[in-house]
Structure 1
Amino acid sequence: MELSIGPRPAVKKSAKPLHYRFAKKQRHRLNAVIASSSLIDDRPVFGASEFDWTQPLTDEWESIRDEALAIYEHRDAIPPLREISPDHRRIMRDNSWRSFFLIGYGHRQEENIARAPRTAELVSRIPGLNSAFFSILAPGARIVPHRGVTKAFITAHLGIKVPRDRESCWLRVGNERLSWREGEWTVFDDTYEHEVHNDTDETRIVLLCQVARPLKAPGSWVAAATLGYVRRSHFVQDAKNNLADWESVFARAERGEI
């Protein structure tokens, strides 16, 4: 049962400008340049051992878990991703996917970092880290098939809380169906079509990290320009504003006011 926390913060959403729509139409060409310059294979799923930065977090995954579960005690004050980023409403039609951001597109959420200091310290050591947050999927939640925008990043999930019936809580990337394990990484390219089902009666929590793909020129130039553009875009600026509003809700929950 959800807490009664009063009216939710209003979602701030800007109109998409012409140059944004133009860039979106060109993303396939840009991704082709990035893929041709990639220092890792262009495939849907990777092994965690291919990336040196995964092991230090694996070694301390229980510390990360403890911070995540303490935050999860105030689960109803953790914002649904669709309310932080209205663009996500096309893939998640309800509030069953919640996200507790530490870093989003390079922007640090200092209040949240103070609530998970060890996790924040560990993720800050990841080369090329773009975003890091606890991704919380409620029982019965489903994220519909979709694709990420750019190959400039890879996505990595560290299993924090996985349902006992782990085969019924799964991620499909391309033609590969994966299930999480606690304390282990799942690493993939989100520009391949992917979807998520939690067909269990338990919550799934992962630490989601978005990390720069290893690249050489000219793909590295394209990726840098893409990242610079996205960080200044309405997509990120709206999310920053919405997160600031939700911070007050979480602080009230911590004080026992809701």
Structure 2
Amino acid sequence: MASGNALPDRPLVYQWLKKYRFKLNDFAAKFSLIPNDPVLNAEQFDWTREVAEHWEDIRDEALRIYEHRDAVPPLRRISPDHRRIATDDAWRSFFLIGYGHEVPENMARAPRTTQLVRRIPKLNSAFFSILAPGAHIVRHHGVSKSFFTAHLGLIVPQDRANCVMQVDRENVHWREGEWTIFDDTYEHEVWNRTDEPRIILLCQVGRPLRAPGSWLAKAFEWYIRRSPFVSDAKKELGHWENALRDSEASSKA
């Protein structure tokens, strides 16, 4: 495991993917069955309405977890690759599913949410994303066009104008009970300049692609699920499980 802010050494395949990601993404974009725009219309996906209809159930489960927020891992702790964009502990992530790997104890804490996200076709990851007051996620972009990102607003600060994500050149504001969907291979940056938390359900979903773009996406997905990037995160999540159990036990004492 790496210490401090140093990143662990990554295999040559991982380094090669990062080096050539722009060319690979340009290739995949030619075979996309949905627009390649930075921000996408949620209504074009059949599953969005069904999940959003039950957003209050999802919110209630997220709030129960938020009561133990100090035991919810900061993303930079479970993913060393995120340390550049999340420089403090203000961005915390409660994973239900991460790159296809389920977290059974967390799913048991949010059974209704788990039931609903399982209805999303080609779901790759699903987690509650908690952004503390004053948090800032620096400008960055995702690695692969194989996926797009969907945010379901659960708790949004009243001062919506000061809780914003900029995707490419477009400013996006979350709304409770509504989806915000975007292509994270475009540069994006997030600010919460309010004194309230922002809590969303974040889902990473496989992009609909026709062949041969779909072949490339399957190969990337196969590799990344077996990579050190994911195996390191799974190990770190295990350590945080103990902290969450202790927090829950203390609140019942």
TM class, shorter-length: over 0.9
Provide the residue aligned with 1:242 in structure 2: 236
Alignment partner of 2:96 out of 99, 102, 106:
102
1:35 matched to 2:29? The reply is yes
1:231 matched to 2:225? The reply is yes
1:91 matched to 2:94? The reply is no
Q: Following the alignment from structure 2 to structure 1, what is the Cα–Cα distance between the partners of residues 89 and 124? A: 24
Alignment partner of 2:141 out of 129, 144, 147:
147
Q: Following the alignment from structure 1 to structure 2, what is the Cα–Cα distance between the partners of residues 25 and 185? A: 32
Q: Following the alignment from structure 1 to structure 2, what is the Cα–Cα distance between the partners of residues 171 and 13? A: 26
**Aligned length, in residue pairs:** 249
Q: Which amino acid in structure 1 is aligned with residue 174 of structure 2? A: W
Q: Following the alignment from structure 1 to structure 2, what is the Cα–Cα distance between the partners of residues 21 and 103? A: 25
User: How far is 1:220 from its partner?
Assistant: 0.2
Provide the residue aligned with 1:220 in structure 2: 214
User: How far is 1:131 from its partner?
Assistant: 0.1
**What TM-score, normalized by structure 2, do the two folds share?**
0.96
Matches within 5 A, 1:103-252: 103-252=97-246
1:58 matched to 2:82? The reply is no
Alignment partner of 1:49 out of 14, 39, 43:
43
Q: Which amino acid in structure 1 is aligned with residue 27 of structure 2? A: V
Percent sequence identity is: 61
Q: Which amino acid in structure 2 is aligned with residue 213 of structure 1? A: R
Q: Which amino acid in structure 2 is aligned with residue 249 of structure 1? A: A
Q: Which amino acid in structure 2 is aligned with residue 168 of structure 1? A: N
User: How far is 1:111 from its partner?
Assistant: 0.1
Q: Following the alignment from structure 1 to structure 2, what is the Cα–Cα distance between the partners of residues 210 and 78? A: 19
Q: Following the alignment from structure 1 to structure 2, what is the Cα–Cα distance between the partners of residues 249 and 168? A: 32
Provide the residue aligned with 1:19 in structure 2: 13
Write out per-residue CA displacement over residues 73-129 of structure 1, whole angstroms, 9 at most, x where no aligned residue. Answer: 001000000001011000011000000000000000000000000000100110000
**What TM-score, normalized by structure 1, do the two folds share?**
0.94
Q: Following the alignment from structure 2 to structure 1, what is the Cα–Cα distance between the partners of residues 105 and 34? A: 35
Give the secondary-structure state (helix, strand or coil) at the position aligned to 1:90: coil
* RMSD of aligned residue pairs (Cα, Å): 1.5
Q: Which amino acid in structure 2 is aligned with residue 144 of structure 1? A: V
Q: Following the alignment from structure 2 to structure 1, what is the Cα–Cα distance between the partners of residues 161 and 208? A: 31
User: How far is 1:18 from its partner?
Assistant: 2.0
Q: Which runs of 5+ in 2 are unaligned?
A: none
